[in-house]
Amino acid sequence: MKFGVVRFPGSCDEVDAQLAAARVGEAVLLWHADRDLQGVDAVIVPGGFSYGDYLRAGAIARFAPVMDAVAEFARDGGLVLGICNGFQVCCEAGLLPGALLPNTGLRFVCRQVQLEVVNASTPFTAGCAEGERLSIPVKHTTGRYYAPAPLLDAMSERGQIVLRYAPGENPNGSIQDVAGVCNEAGNVFGLMPHPEHAVDALTGSADGLALFASMASAAGPRPLARA
Amino acid sequence: MRVRVLVRPKAGILDPQGQVVQRALPALGFEGVRNVHVGRLVELELDDPGQLPEMCERLLTNPLVEDYEVLGEDGAPLAQPAGDALR
């Protein structure tokens, strides 16, 4: 299992994401200006402030050459995980439904939150139980998930609401406490909380590891290279 | 030609920036102010105004959450969204 973590100018969580993924597989960095995904089995679009988040968070990054390759990879069924800014980039790129808006409180929020697993049948949450609580930190200013009501209803029906903030834990005013969503096919998943910062009890929680481990199981062992 | 693109949060979507400004104004003695919304202004010069709708919908705005209006040099509207886009 080989993860590729995208590095944009302004990314800041790509190394943590790489270290987290390296606990369950191999992990390499992918440069934003390259279209070559180096044969990875899964792509992580990490947190940070890609291209300074000018105009809107993620608006410029979606046009990076690497994102063409990531979109094609996703179309072919490859696993793509968007974390925080990576979630915003995936929404702007149309890989995920909805948009992320400024927090209701207009402030940067940095704290541990409790999440509830709504759908445990995705490749990203298969190692969790439905209704399970995960303790994972958030750190963002633009994390208020929004989708128009008809779209949100359809998503809910299709199981695309994967994670919600537990009651009373919503840090940003996200509609219906949505914390993480997937696409219709279920192979692209984005969330505002940072599972890569919750992979070791030393830093408060190892609950985030379940997401990386689920991805590794879903992608399966790498086939042996042919001679 | 020189144009101005006005970008606004779509009606019905919570606009916390607008709310904060609306609450701040009475604190300075400006009473009777309603419906404050904070958007974005993009000024640009271009050769082909026919490109404006696509430019606005693909980059300058996120059509899911924002509306736009393009004004020419004389302030007359040049372009606006064709309809609600669901992405």
**Out of A94, A101, A104, closest to residue B65 by CB:** A101
The closest CB to that of A106, out of B20, B65, B87, belongs to B20
pLDDT greater than 80 at residue A78 = yes
What is the residue whose two structure tokens read 């903030």?
Answer: A165
In a domain, A225, yes or no: no
Q: Whole-angstrom Cα distance, residue A154 to residue A158?
A: 6
Q: Of A86-95, A181-190, B68-77, which range is least confident?
A: B68-77
In a domain, A227, yes or no: no
Residues of A with catalytic roles: 84, 194, 196
Do the domain assignments include residue A38? Answer: yes
Task: Give chain B positions within 8 Å (CB) of A146.
Answer: 13, 64-65
ipTM, 2 decimals? 0.84
What is the pLDDT confidence band of residue A65, given thresholds at 50, 70 and 90?
A: very high
Domain total in chain A: 1
Is residue A224 in some structural domain? no
Indicate left, alpha or beta for A141 from its phi (over 0: left) and psi (-120 to 50: alpha): alpha
- Two tokens, residue B13: 């979507």
Does A105 lie at the interface with B, CB-CB under 8 angstroms? yes
Between CA A43 and CA A32 the distance in angstroms is: 12
pTM over 0.90, yes/no: yes
Give the count of beta carbons closer than 10 Å to the beta carbon of residue A203: 12
Highest CATH level, class, for B2-71: alpha beta
What CATH number should be reported for the domain holding residue A197? Answer: 3.40.50.880
Residue A48 lies in a domain: yes
Question: Percentage of chain A with pLDDT > 90?
Answer: 96
A68 Cα to chain B: minimum distance (Å): 15
Distance set, CA B13 to CA A146, B6, B39, B62 (Å): 9, 17, 13, 13
A173 touches chain B (CB under 8 A): yes
Name the band, by pLDDT with cuts 50, 70 and 90, for residue B74: confident
Query: DSSP assignment of B50-83, as one string?
Result: GGHHHHIIIII--TTTEEEEEE-TTS-EEE--SS
Range of the domain at A31: 2-219
Mean pLDDT of A42-63: 95
Tell me: the pLDDT tens digits for A133-167?
A: 999 999 999 999 999 999 999 999 999 999 999 99
**In this model, does residue B87 exceed pLDDT 70?**
no
A45 DSSP β-pair partners: A82
Is residue A154 in a domain? yes
Return the pLDDT at A145.
98
Q: Domain for residue A8, yes or no? A: yes
pLDDT digits (tens, 9 = 90+) for A211-227: 999 999 998 655 554 44
Residues in CB range of A53: below 8 A, 6 or more apart: A10, A59, A85, A142
The answer to whether position A50 is within a domain reads: yes
For the stretch B9-52, pLDDT in tens is: 999 999 999 999 999 999 999 999 999 999 999 999 999 989 99
